[in-house]
Amino acid sequence: MRRWPSALRLHRAVLYEQPVFSPAWRMDANSSIITSAILAIDYMDSLLPQNPLQEPFKNAWNYMLDNFTKFQIATWGSLLVHEGVYFLFCLPGFIFQFIPAMQKYKIQQDKPESIEKQWKCFKVLLFNHFCIQLPLICGTYYFTEFFNIPYNWENMPRWQMIAMQCLGCAVVEDTWHYFLHRLLHHKRIYKYIHKVHHEFTAPFGMQAEYAHPAETLVLGMGFFIGIMIFCNHVILLWAWVTFRLLETIDVHSGYDVPLNPLHLIPFYGGSRFHDFHHMNFVGNYSSTFTWWDKLFGTDSQFQMYSDKVKMDKEMKKDK
């Protein structure tokens, strides 16, 4: 079985012209693109001021390495990151339901959240997190060892590189999610698996990972494909987990809050795009971006609905 080289090895290979793939795999055009990207990052990094948080973060990271084993870091560290980030990002949406001023940003205003539904969702989440996802997280250490992914501070990539890698992971995951998600909506499969996730037609943030165990495994595989391609340090695992949870909780939040920084990402779908999927059950299958739905025309009903909403708003203004 061929081992794919880590992004770190690719990085070094491009800089020092070391062979990574066999001649059949080598492509000069791709090497030039990667080299140009690295040089651009180096130039931008030279223009930025020194990060005041870098030294405290370095000390904390080295303390972790000195006091815990790689297995503990990969397993329990990943679990803590996942649980902490998930429920922290769910907290604003949970609080919004008790703030009258935020209700104007709720997308489906005729379907308020209920404590009973949220409690039911929370119990299913605990089962999925600790009975389905935790066993997968336990394999993180062996994954990093197999692909020779470093933990040390010296190989820590800069934040600009991490951001680019997370974007690459998002593109890969979005592609996987679109086609597998669309397959789960097939009439012969839907009622057995994906129907669980669509139990709530008006989604809320905590519902992001409310799903059938089989769906958790099938769609969750897309998360790891990007890691296999781009990961050159264990920090990317945690950065990608953080970004992916932020994105999926945002699109399930049920609120379209203005000045959302995620909307600065080109082709980002957002909460209105995915909220329509839960309301309509058909179309808008992508997880993060909109291009696959535009390419295959599976956003047509959403576009017609959006145009109708805009017309209704304009008519109310005229009156």
| Angle (nearest 5°) at CA 242 between 99 and 234 | 160
What does the DSSP 8-state code read for residue 193?
Answer: T
- What span, in angstroms and rounded, lies between the C-alpha atoms of 135 and 234? 18
What does the DSSP 8-state code read for residue 148? T
Ordered DSSP codes for 225-271:
HHHHHH-SSHHHHHHHHHHHHHHHHHHTSSB--TT-GGGGSTTB-HH
Residue 24 lies in a domain: no
Condensed to tens digits (0 to 9), the pLDDT of residues 111-169 reads 988 899 999 999 999 999 999 999 989 999 999 999 899 999 999 998 889 999 999 99
* Short-list 238, 211, 208, 240, CA closest to 80: 238
Is residue 189 included in any domain, yes or no? yes
Q: Give residue-wise pLDDT tens across range 273-296.
A: 999 999 999 999 999 999 999 999
Report the domain count for the chain. 1
pLDDT(235) > 80:
yes
pLDDT value at position 314? Answer: 77
210: left (phi over 0), alpha (psi -120 to 50) or beta: beta
Query: Could you read off the pLDDT of 20-55 as tens digits, one per residue?
Result: 444 444 345 555 665 676 666 666 666 666 677 788
More confident position, 26 or 91: 91
Domain that holds residue 195: 56-318
Domain contains 37 = no
Across the range 286-311, mean pLDDT stands at: 93
Residue 40 lies in a domain: no
**Does any domain span residue 255?**
yes
Tell me the Cα Rg of the chain: 22
In a domain, 300, yes or no: yes
Q: What counts of helices (H) and strands (E) characterise the chain?
A: 14, 0
Position 4 pLDDT exceeds 60 = no
Q: Does pLDDT of 11 surpass 50?
A: no
Q: Do 6 and 236 contact (CB within 8 A), yes or no?
A: no
The arithmetic mean of pLDDT across residues 200-212, rounded, is: 92
Task: Please state, in angstroms and rounded to a whole number, the distance separating the CA atoms of residues 128 and 215.
Answer: 11
Return the pLDDT at 7. Answer: 45
- What is residue 42's predicted lDDT score, i.e. its pLDDT? 64
- Total-model pTM: 0.82
Question: Do 208 and 85 touch, CB atoms closer than 8 A?
Answer: no
Shortest CA distance to 158 belongs to which of 235, 223, 247? Answer: 235
Mean local confidence (pLDDT), 257-284: 94
Share of the chain above pLDDT 70, in %: 84
For residue 72, being part of any structural domain is answered with yes
Instruction: Tell me whether residue 20 is in a domain.
Output: no
Would you state the pLDDT for residue 21? 42
